[in-house]
Amino acid sequence: MSEAFKDEPVMEINPDVDIAPEPVGGPIVAEGEKLLEVDNVTLRFGGVVALNEVSFHINKGEILGLIGPNGAGKTTCFNVMTGVYQPTSGGVRYLGKPLGKRKKFQITKLGIARTFQNIRLFANMTALENVMVGVDAHHSTGVGSAMFRLPKHRREEAEGLARAMELLEFMGLRGKANELARNLPYGDQRRLEIARALATSPQLLCLDEPAAGFNPAEKAKLMELIRTIRDQGYTVLLIEHDMKLVMGVTDRIVVLEFGRKIAEGSPAEVRDNPAVIAAYLGVDEEDAS
Amino acid sequence: MSYAQRGMDWVRALPKPAKIVLWVLFLVFLFALPLLNIPFITTPDSDFGGVLFTVSTYVLVALGLNIVVGYAGLLDLGYVGFYAIGAYTVGVLSSLHGSWPWLWTVPVAIGAALISGILLGAPTLRVRGDYLAIVTLGFGEIVRLTLVNSQWLNGAQGISNIPRPPGAELFEVPSLDWSSGAPVVDLSNTTTFLKFGITDQIPYYWLALSVILLVLLFDKLVKDSRVGRAWEATREDEDAAELMGVPTFRFKLLAFALGACIGGLSGALFAGKAGFISPDSFVLLLSILFIAAVVVGGAGNRWGVILGAIVVGYFPERFRDFADFRVLVFGLALMLLAIFRPQGILPPRRAVRAIEADEKLEALEEGEVRV
Amino acid sequence: MQYLFDNFWALTITGLTLGAVYALVALGYTLVYGVLRLINFAHSEVFMYGTFAALWVVTFLGGNATGSIAQVIFWIAMMFVAAMAMSGLIAVLLERFAYRPLRKRNAPPLIALISAIGASFVLAEIMGLREKITGWFGLDTPLATYVRNSRNNAGMPEIITPQPVFTLGDYAVTNVDIFVIVGAIAIMIMLDQFVKRSRLGRGIRAVAQDPESAALMGVNRDRVIQVTFLVGGVMAGAAAAFYMLKIGITRYDAGFILGVKAFTAAVLGGIGNLRGALLGGFVLGLAENYGSAIVGTEWKDVVAFLLLVVILLFRPTGLLGESLGKARA
C-alpha cells in the first residue's frame, strides 16, 4: 500500500500546536489512576467465543498496547469498549462507573474515541468537515439556533472551526483542510482519522492498527506522533500486531490470543513471556499485515 | 465541468456588490417571468402562470425531499403522503369540516405533516435504509387508500370549495406582448397585484416563489451548521458517525420531519390554489416524479434539485405531446443516471464548500473570536 | 367480528390462494436479496409481464370455458410455459441492464435501488403504452386484441369454471383453489430441492453466504447472479399464471401492490430465507383476509402495509430469521 505513495514526503507534523483535550465536563482522573477497566468480558456470537473472560485496565496518561495475532479479538475488544457490541457477560467500567447499555454516541461523549482498522472517514466531506463532526460531539446547536444564527450557533461554530484547524495544523494537514477526504493520500487519511477522533476531546483515544499499510519510516513517525499525543494530555490504547513497533512506544502491553488474555506487563516482561513467544512463533509479523 | 457550473463559478468570482445587484435582478426576472411572455419558454398549450405555479410546487417539494434524500441519505418513496396530508388538512379545516381561512390552516397543515413524519419515522428509521424505501412507499399508498376509503374525508369525491389565500387588490401590473415580433407593453392584459382569483394564476406563482425563497434561506442556514454536518456524516457512514458522537437516529428523524413539514407546506399551497382536491391528486407516481427531480438534478445540492424539479415539472407542460411518455422518460432517466452519472446533473461541489470555508476562516482570523 | 366467524373458511381459503401467489413472488425478492443484498424493486414488473404472457397465450389459443379436458390441460400448460418464460426473460434482462452495470462500478445500494425504481417504471409504462408503441409500427390494428385500451384492465377468458370439490364449514372449496394452493406448494418444494441439491443451487448458497470465498472457490459470481434472477423470474411467472387462473384480470400497474405485498411476505418470513418466503406468503394472505373481514375489505391493502411496518418494528429479521441455506454468523 505504501509503495504507491513513495514520492510523498514522510509526514510532517507540528508537535508544538496545542491540541490538549477541551474541558468538556465530567470528572478528571489524576495521572496514573485507573481510567478504564475491562472486567471479565466474555462475548459470544452464536457458538463462537470471540472474547473469553478478558480483564485489563488502562491508567490515565499511559500508552497501553493491545497486541495479538490476527483474529485474537483485539478489534472486538474495541467494539465492546465503544458500545458497538454488548458483552455476553462481564462489563466495562469507565471512571469507576459501568458503561452499561449506553449508546455509541453517548460513550463518545463520555470521553472514549476511536479510529478504525479499515479507514472510515466521511468520504464526501472535506477534511475540515470531518474533524468538525468530531468537535460537534460536545455541541448542541439545533435547527432553531442554526436557523436564526443565535449566539450559541456562532460561538460553537467559531470554537469548532478553531479547534478543528488546530488539529489539522498539528497533523500537518492544514493545507488540505478543504480537500474531500476520499481524495487525500492514504497516509493523510490515517492521520485525519486520528484528528477526527481527537476532535471529540477524548480522555481515552483508541487507535486500531493506525500504522497498517505504512512503510518503516512512516511507522516510526507515527509512533512519535502517538507519543506526542500522549504528552498533550491524552491516554492512548493502541492495537497493533507488529510487536517491535509496540515495544518502543508503549508503557504496558496486554496480549490476546484466541479471545483470551495470555499476558500483561511492561514491554520487556511481555517480550520474554513464553506464552507470547509461543503465540507469535512462526508468525512473521510483517507478513501478517 | 458543465456550463451551469461554470456560470455559477463566474458569479461567485464577482465582487460582493455586483453579486448583490445580479441576485436582485435575477429575482426581479423570476417574479416578472409570467408577465414577460417570452417566446418559446412560455407554454403554448396551457396558462403559463399556472405552469409556473406547478413547477414551483415541484421545486418546493424537491427542496424538502432533498433534505431527506440528499443530505441525510434516506430514500423516501412516500413523500406524496406528506403532500396529501398537508393538502387535506387545509381542505378539512377550511371547507369540509370547518370554515377556517386558508392562511390559518397552513400552520396546522405543516404541523400535521410534521406529526405524521415523526410517527412514521420513529419506528422505521431504525431499520436498514433499503427497507425504509419500501415502508415509505407503503405509507404513501396507505395515505391515498385512507383518503379514498374514508367517508369522513369525502372518499373519492374529494374536497371542493377550498378558500383561496387572502389577497388585496392593490394595483395592476401590465404584461408584454410579442405578437409583433418585438416585446410591447400590453396594458390591456394585466394582472391585479395579489388578487388570488380563478382565472389569473400569476399571483399564486408569486406566492409559491416567495415561499421557495424562504425555504431556500432556511435550508442554507440549517445545512451550514452542526445539523447539516451531522446529516452528511450519517449519510456517509452511519456507524462511524455514531462513534464520533453523532446521535444518528435523532438527526435522521429530524431530517425526515423537516422534509415532511416542507411536503405539508407544498400540499397546503396546492390546495389553496386548486380549490379542489381528491385522492387522485396524490398518486404514487408523484412520489416517483419527486424522487426523479431530486436524483436527476443532483441529490445534496439545492441548486441541482431545483434544476431537476424544473426539468420534471416544466418539460411535460411545455411539450404536451410528451406528457404521455413522461413516466417512461423519467424512469429511463433514473436508470441511465444511476448507471452513468449517479451524482446527478449538478452534484454538490467541493470547490463551493472550499470557498465558503475559506471565507469563514478569514472571518475567524480577523475577528476577535479566539478560543 | 361476527363476519369473520361466519366466513372463516371462505376467508381462509382465499387467503391461502393469494398467499401462495405472494409466496412465489416473494421467492424472487428473497433469492436476489440473498445473493446481492439488494431489494429488486422491479420484481413486481417481472410478475406483471407474466400475467400478460398468460393472458395473451390463452387469448391466442382461443381458450374458453367449454374446452375438453385435454384442451384445458393444454391451455394451462401453455399458460405456465408462456408466463414463466416471459417473466424469466424480463428478470434476466433486468439484471443485465439495470443491475450489472452498477455492480461493475461498485455503486452503493441506494443507487442500485434508484436504478431499479427507474427500470420498474420503464417496464410498467411500456406495458401501459403498448397501444401507442405498436402504433408506431402500424401494428396496433393487427394486434388490437392484445394492445387495445392499454391503460385499462385486461381480462382473461375463463378456462376452468370453478367447481366445488368439497366443503369446509359452509364454504365450497373449488378445483381452482386446490390447484393454486397445491401447485404453488409443489413448485416451492421443487425450488427448495433445486437450491439444496443442484450444483447451481449450491453456487447460489455459496455466493449468498460469502461472495468473496465463493469466488475464490471457483464459483462464477456473474453466472450465479444471472441464474438467481432467472429462477426468481420463473417463480414470479408461475405466480402470474396462478394469479390469472384465480383472479383473471390484470393491468399495466398490477405489479405494484402485489409487489409490495410479496416483499412484505419476504420480510415477514425473513428475507433471504426461502422457507420464510413460503411461510410469510401464507401468513400475509391469511392476515390480510382476516384483517379485512374485521375492518372492511376496502382496507385490505392498508392492513398488509401496516403489517409490514409492524414487523419491521418488532422483528426486522422476520419469523424464521434471515438466511439462505445456513444462518450467517
**N residues, chain A:** 289
Q: Closest Cα of chain C to B333: distance in Å?
A: 7
ipTM: 0.89
**Residue of chain C nearest B237, judged by CA positions:** C108
The whole-angstrom separation of Cα B296 and Cα B281 is 23
Give the tens place of pLDDT for each residue, A25-55.
767 777 878 899 999 999 988 778 889 999 9
Interface check for A126 against chain B (CB to CB < 8 A): the answer is yes
A256 phi-psi bin (left φ>0, alpha ψ -120 to 50, beta other)? beta
- Contact status, residue C51 vs residue C240, Cβ threshold 8 Å: yes
In a domain, B146, yes or no: yes
Residue type, B214: L
Residue B353 scores a pLDDT above 60: yes
Q: What's the whole-number mean pLDDT along residues A8-12?
A: 62
Q: Closest Cα of chain B to C242: distance in Å?
A: 25
For chain B, what percent of residues have pLDDT higher than 70? 91
Chain B interface disruption, residue of C111, C121, C302, most B CBs within 10 A: C121
B223: which 3 cell numbers? 445545512
The whole-angstrom separation of Cα C56 and Cα B296 is 36
For chain C, what percent of residues have pLDDT higher than 70? 97
Interface contact flag, B328 C125, Cβ < 8 Å: yes
The CATH number of the domain holding residue B41 is 1.10.3470
For chain C, the chains sharing at least 3 beta-carbon pairs closer than 8 angstroms are A, B
| Structural domains of chain C sorted by starting position, each given as residue range(s) with its CATH number in brackets | 2-148+158-327 (1.10.3470)
**Residue of chain B nearest C37, judged by CA positions:** B130
Interface contact flag, B246 A136, Cβ < 8 Å: yes
In a domain, B118, yes or no: yes
Residue C126 scores a pLDDT above 90: yes
Mapping DSSP to helix (H, G, I), strand (E, B) and coil, where does residue C140 land?
coil
Interface check for A45 against chain C (CB to CB < 8 A): the answer is yes
When divided into structural domains, chain B yields a total of 1
- Contact status, residue A115 vs residue A194, Cβ threshold 8 Å: yes
Residue A5 scores a pLDDT above 50: no
Mapping DSSP to helix (H, G, I), strand (E, B) and coil, where does residue A68 land?
coil
Give the tens place of pLDDT for each residue, A143-157.
988 888 899 999 999
In a domain, B227, yes or no: yes
Res C143: pLDDT: 86
A260: which 3 cell numbers? 483470551
The whole-angstrom separation of Cα C91 and Cα C97 is 10
Chain A interface disruption, residue of B225, B237, B250, most A CBs within 10 A: B225
Query: In which band, very low, low, confident or very high, does the pLDDT at A2 lie, cut at 50, 70 and 90?
Result: very low
Q: Chain A contacts of B364, Cβ < 8 Å?
A: 158, 161-162
Res B293: pLDDT: 86
| Least confidently predicted of A1-5, A263-267, B302-306 | A1-5
Residue C329 scores a pLDDT above 60: no
Cα within 13 Å of Cα(C225), Cβ side: 20
In a domain, B173, yes or no: yes
Residue C185 scores a pLDDT above 60: yes
DSSP B82-97: HHHHHHHHHHIIIIIS
Res B350: pLDDT: 61
Q: Chain A window 165-184: which residues touch B at a Cβ cutoff of 8 Å?
A: 165, 177-180
**B310-332: string of b/e by CB count within 10 Å (b at 16+)?**
bbbbbebbbeeeeeebbbbbbbb
The whole-angstrom separation of Cα C34 and Cα C209 is 8
The whole-angstrom separation of Cα A162 and Cα A135 is 10
Give the tens place of pLDDT for each residue, B63-109.
999 999 999 989 888 899 999 999 999 999 998 888 889 899 999 99
Interface contact flag, A121 B360, Cβ < 8 Å: no
**Residue of chain B nearest C120, judged by CA positions:** B331
The whole-angstrom separation of Cα B351 and Cα A49 is 49
Interface contact flag, B371 A159, Cβ < 8 Å: yes
Interface contact flag, B229 A125, Cβ < 8 Å: yes
Residue B41 scores a pLDDT above 90: no
Res B203: pLDDT: 87
**B13-45: string of b/e by CB count within 10 Å (b at 16+)?**
eeeeeeeeeeeeeeeeebeebbbebeeeebbee
**Distance in angstroms between the alpha carbons of the first and the last residue of chain C:** 44
Q: What's the whole-number mean pLDDT along residues A191-209?
A: 94
Mean of the per-residue pLDDT values for chain A?
86
Give the tens place of pLDDT for each residue, B198-252.
777 888 899 999 999 999 999 999 999 999 999 999 999 999 999 999 999 999 9
A240: which 3 cell numbers? 497493533
Q: Give the one of B222, B246, B360 whose C-beta lies nearest to A143's C-beta.
A: B222
| Least confidently predicted of B271-285, C98-112, C252-266 | C98-112
Interface contact flag, B334 C312, Cβ < 8 Å: no
Q: Chain B contacts of C98, Cβ < 8 Å?
A: 335
**Residue of chain B nearest A197, judged by CA positions:** B244
| Structural domains of chain A sorted by starting position, each given as residue range(s) with its CATH number in brackets | 2-122+204-288 (3.40.50.300)
- Structural domain boundaries enclosing B179: 3-366
Interface check for C110 against chain A (CB to CB < 8 A): the answer is no
C214: which 3 cell numbers? 465463493
Interface check for A105 against chain C (CB to CB < 8 A): the answer is no
Nearest to A208 by CA among A238, A176, A170: A238
| Least confidently predicted of B6-10, B327-331, C71-75, C264-268 | B6-10
Residue C211 scores a pLDDT above 60: yes
The whole-angstrom separation of Cα B42 and Cα A266 is 80
In a domain, B37, yes or no: yes
Residue type, C235: M
- According to DSSP, residue A10 is labeled P
Q: Give the one of B226, B227, B353 whose C-beta lies nearest to A178's C-beta.
A: B353
Q: What's the whole-number mean pLDDT along residues A121-128?
A: 92
In a domain, B295, yes or no: yes
Residue B132 scores a pLDDT above 90: no
Residue C117 scores a pLDDT above 80: yes
Residue C232 scores a pLDDT above 50: yes
Query: In which band, very low, low, confident or very high, does the pLDDT at A286 lie, cut at 50, 70 and 90?
Result: very low
Interface check for A159 against chain B (CB to CB < 8 A): the answer is yes
| Least confidently predicted of B198-207, B348-357, C252-261, C315-324 | B348-357
In a domain, B371, yes or no: no
Nearest to A41 by CA among A2, A13, A79: A79
Res B371: pLDDT: 38
Is the entire prediction scored with pTM above 0.80?
yes
Query: In which band, very low, low, confident or very high, does the pLDDT at A285 lie, cut at 50, 70 and 90?
Result: very low
Res A3: pLDDT: 45
Distance of CA A59 to the CA centre of its chain: 15
Residue B322 scores a pLDDT above 90: no
Give the tens place of pLDDT for each residue, A79-94.
999 888 899 999 999 9
- According to DSSP, residue B223 is labeled H
Q: Closest Cα of chain A to B239: distance in Å?
A: 9
Task: Report which secondary-structure segment, H or E, holds A247.
Answer: helix A243-249
Residue C46 scores a pLDDT above 90: yes
**B186-219: string of b/e by CB count within 10 Å (b at 16+)?**
eeeeebbeebbeeebbbbbbbbbbebbeebbebb
Distance of CA B42 to the CA centre of its chain: 21
